Structure 1
Amino acid sequence: MGRNKIPRVICGKPADSCFKPNGIPMNQLAQLDLAADEFEALRLVDLQGMHQQDAAVAMGVSRQTLANLVKSARFKVADCLVNGKALMMCP
């Protein structure tokens, strides 16, 4: 049995719940879910330019956990951009 997930501090919210390629109906697109903690990690590190250690403290997680969240979020965003998938933001 694994450990319980540490609660994470999430301050930012996405402007929209979905980003998708123009001109393609949603039912024809593959979808990827971006979790709230992945969104927050991406927002803090890439948009606000925080160092990973500072962003980890702000979210209440370890630096390694934050690095894993950023890596996962970046992969999902890149996959959607390159392969024309819809990116769904989870609240």
Structure 2
Amino acid sequence: MSRPRKWRSVCSLPPNSRFGPIGSNLEGRQPVVMSVDEYETIRLIDHEGMTQQECSEQMEVARTTVQGMYDTARKKLAASLVDGKPLFIEGGEYRLHDHNGQGLGRCGRGCRWRSRMTEIEGENHQ
């Protein structure tokens, strides 16, 4: 019997999931497909400045799992940039955080949803 799947906890889906070279014909070019959980490691480590350990706590997986996903995600980004291939972000083994304080996941300092709600509240108070 195989081991049960360990779902990665993700704050939210990316606002954009399709990227590619501007002004070039993408016909026949195989896209690079990055999973949502790989994207989350890039977002948390490179964009939010978290360590791999902090990222693993946020995603509720082992640090070695984050290390592997991060390495794979970086190689996919490089392939897309260097080879001029479109990049699609889709699929993966993840569950979205429940931002109502129930169920799976608890967002930390890298929570995109929380920062978006703070911006909205700030706009409403002006």
TM-score between both structures, scaled by the size of structure 2? 0.67
Paired with 1:76 and 1:2, the residues of 2 have a C-alpha distance of 28
Aligned to 1:35: 35
Normalised by the size of structure 1, how large is the TM-score? 0.90
Moved more, 4-13 or 24-33: 24-33
Say which structure, 1 or 2, has more relative contact order (CA 8 Å, 6+ apart): 1
* CA positional deviation for 1:39: 0.6
Mapped to 2, the partners of 1:42 and 1:15 lie a distance apart of 14
Query: Is the Cα contact below 8 Å between 1:12 and 1:43 reproduced in 2?
Result: no
**1:47-91 per-position Cα deviation (integer Å, ceiling 9, x unaligned):** 000011111010010000000010000000011000000100115
Structure 1's unaligned 5+ residue stretches are none
Higher helix share: 1
Amino acid at match of 1:21: P
Unpaired runs of 5+ residues, structure 2, are: 92-126
The aligned counterpart of 2:60 is 60
Larger radius of gyration: 2
Q: Measure, in 2, the Cα distance between the counterparts of 1:67 and 1:29.
A: 29
Q: Give aligned-pair identity as a percent.
A: 35
Deviating beyond 3 angstroms after TM superposition, the runs of 4 or more aligned structure 1 residues are none
| C-alpha RMSD over aligned residues | 1.4
SS of the equivalent of 2:9 reads coil
